[in-house]
Amino acid sequence: MSKTVTFNDRPASDAAPVSLEEFANASNAAAVRIEPGEDVRDLLPHLERLALVEINFPVFGDGRGYSAAQILREHGFAGELRAIGDVLVDQLAYMLRCGFDSAAPNQPLNGQAVQDALNRYPHAYQKTSGTSPISGRGPIWEIRHE
């Protein structure tokens, strides 16, 4: 896994993630890794004790991780959400909109390409519950009414 790319000023967590199954049996775990097909809602009663949730994207076309991130943010998860696996630079803006704080892609990403992707769209078309800088902005249609 390559270097973690952060989307905001939050420092990346160094907590060691465990599987969802291990998390259910480990009372002291502060980080968990979600695999495709696992139900992230199993974490909802434990959000206050989690510092990090890693969501695995085994292939770039598997979008279930976006839904998992959105569910966690909608239920008040304030810790770090990190995308891991087959993360491409083209996905970063969408990950940011869903509330991801960072990504640890399998392959290194070009730093300038990352910055370009994260800053390409100053506004969004839809509301979101994400907590990241772009996600915290209202949709572009609200600007008309300012």
- Model confidence, pTM: 0.85
Spans of all domains in the chain: 5-143
Sign of dihedral through CA atoms 75, 6, 55, 53?
negative
CA-only gyration radius of the chain, Å: 15
Residue with tokens 């991801």: 100
DSSP 41-70: GGGGGGGGG-SEEEEEESSTT-THHHHHHH
According to CATH, the topology of domain 5-143 is TIM Barrel (3.20.20)
Distance of alpha carbon 82 from alpha carbon 32, whole angstroms: 10
Paired strand residues for 5: 103
Does the pLDDT at position 1 exceed 80? no
The pair phi, psi for residue 93, each rounded to 5°, is -60, -35
The tokens describing 49, both together, are 């004790």
Distance of alpha carbon 19 from alpha carbon 94, whole angstroms: 25
Strand pairing report for 31-34 and 52-57: parallel
pLDDT tens track for 22-72: 998 877 899 999 999 999 999 999 999 999 999 999 998 899 999 999 999
The pair phi, psi for residue 73, each rounded to 5°, is -65, -40
| pLDDT class of 137 with cuts at 50, 70, 90 | low
Distance of alpha carbon 6 from alpha carbon 59, whole angstroms: 20
pLDDT tens track for 91-123: 998 888 888 999 999 999 998 998 888 888 777
